[in-house]
Amino acid sequence: MIVLGIESSCDETGVALVETSQAPVPTLLAHALHSQVDMHQAYGGVVPELASRDHIRRVLPLARQVLAEAGHAVGDVDVVAYTRGPGLAGALLVGAGVACALGAALHKPVLGVHHLEGHLLSPFLSADPPEFPFIALLVSGGHTQLMQVDGVGSYQLLGETIDDAAGEAFDKSAKLLGLGYPGGPALARLAEQGDPKAFKLPRPLLHSGDLDFSFAGLKTAVLTQSRKLGPELEARKADLAASTEAAIVDVLVKKSLAALAASGMQRIVVAGGVGANRQLRAQLNAACAQRGVRVHYPELDLCTDNGAMIALAAAMRLQAGVQQATATYAFDVKPRWPLQEIAA
Ligand code: KG4
Ligand code: ZN
């Protein structure tokens, strides 16, 4: 079975082709991505209307590209998958509309995928794929969640952010430091030249005894600190960036360890854009190595949004028999869609 996947929930258009065969995990045949970062940069963040229009421009050329790279004709596609949510409504509608139109034209069924399930399963495409069950730390621009994953579609929420997401904390702090958009990678880059212990920043909910997160206070602390520094800020920017990164990473690592201890699991998967953060990887790897816990990540190019994870999630759901593709083409998107709603 060949699945074409389309991702268009935010500011990346992604298209990919996966194939299910005898192998337990579907194989990625080809994937292509267009990032809108350059376009949104001038506005300091994602402009939803511009995002939708750009997805429309990009999605079919990207689909042609992956089909050509994989050496397949469009008629070889058995199922068309798309991101149904969560995300920007207009952007989601582009992927859903194109997927349903393709499905209808090809007389092939379609399947709407949960974006976070895509992130969650993306490490299965890596050279070191996980095995079920595992703890998942989902850290993206819109979500920060710890989950217990027992199988495809079997997701139990253990804790989540009560305000900003980890990626949002990176992005908002970066903005305060004048680092532009997207802030996460820019802040991480600057942090490499700074001292993570230079400023004592809050680690909210670190000792709350549960697995929830809170990052809104951190952004306020960064603002207060930068105001205090005044003209000195420029010279101390790298230190403040490093201290901010350290605070975020510290909380993510400690809460992940708490989730592992509480569940007795020996395996953790890190997914979502913030999973590309080097400090997070280094510290989580070190802490888990001490405890004999295996850590799995998606390949670096599949950490942020992409079509491969959408095609993969669709293929794995179909393989596991937890969902069927449909030929009704009555697409609807879900801009807000808690992952628990698709959990068995
Ligand atoms: O998963 P993703 O591509 O999109 C969402 O579904 O949100 O995640 C994007 C987020 C942004 O907040 C971005 O700043 C952050 O991931 N990010 C990083 C890094 N790379 C991306 N944050 C910290 N360090 C990085 N290296
Ligand atoms: Zn994402």
pLDDT of the residue at 109: 98
| Torsion angles phi and psi, residue 23, rounded to 5 | -60, 145
Domains 2-121+302-342 and 131-297 share a fold: yes
Ligand 1 close to Cβ of residue 245 (< 6 A): no
Contact predicate 297/303, CB 8 Å: yes
Helix orientation angle between 166-176 and 233-263, rounded to the nearest 10 degrees: 170
Q: Domain boundaries in the chain?
A: 2-121+302-342, 131-297
Looking at residue 209, its amino acid is G
- Nearest Cα neighbor of 54 from 84, 95, 17 is 95
184 alpha carbon – ligand 1 mean position (Å): 6
Q: Is the pLDDT of residue 286 over 80?
A: yes
180 pLDDT above the threshold of 80: yes
Work out the average pLDDT over 115-133.
96
Nearest 5°: phi and psi at 200?
-90, 105
142 touches ligand 1 (CB under 6 Å):
yes
Helix axis angle for 233-263 and 216-229, nearest 10°, is 160
Rounded distance, CA 176 to CA 158, Å? 31
Average pLDDT, the chain: 96
Using pLDDT thresholds of 50, 70 and 90, give the confidence band for residue 22: confident
Q: Using a 6 Å cutoff on CB, does residue 215 contact ligand 1?
A: no
pLDDT in tens, 289-318: 999 999 999 999 999 999 999 999 999 999
Q: Which residues sit opposite 12 in a β-bridge? A: 35
Residue 9 near residue 96 (C-beta atoms within 8 A): no
Is 84:317 a contact under the CB 8 Å cutoff? Answer: no
Q: End-to-end distance of the chain based on CA atoms, in angstroms?
A: 24
The Cα 7–Cα 86 span in angstroms is: 11
Q: Does the CB atom of residue 331 touch ligand 1 within 6 A?
A: no
CA of 179 to the centre of ligand 1 (A): 14
Q: Assign domain 2-121+302-342 to a CATH class.
A: alpha beta
CB atoms within 10 A of CB 235: 9
Does residue 86 have a cis peptide bond before it, meaning omega lies within 30 degrees of 0?
Answer: yes
- Model confidence pLDDT, tens digit, residues 181-229: 889 999 999 999 999 999 999 999 999 999 999 999 999 999 999 999 9
Q: What is the CATH number of domain 131-297?
A: 3.30.420.40
Query: 30 in helix, strand or coil?
Result: strand
Q: How many CB atoms lie within 10 A of CB 126?
A: 16
How, if at all, do strands 12-19 and 27-35 pair? antiparallel
Q: Which ligand 1 atom is the nearest neighbour of the CA of 183?
A: 14
Count of C-beta atoms within a 10 Å radius of residue 195: 14
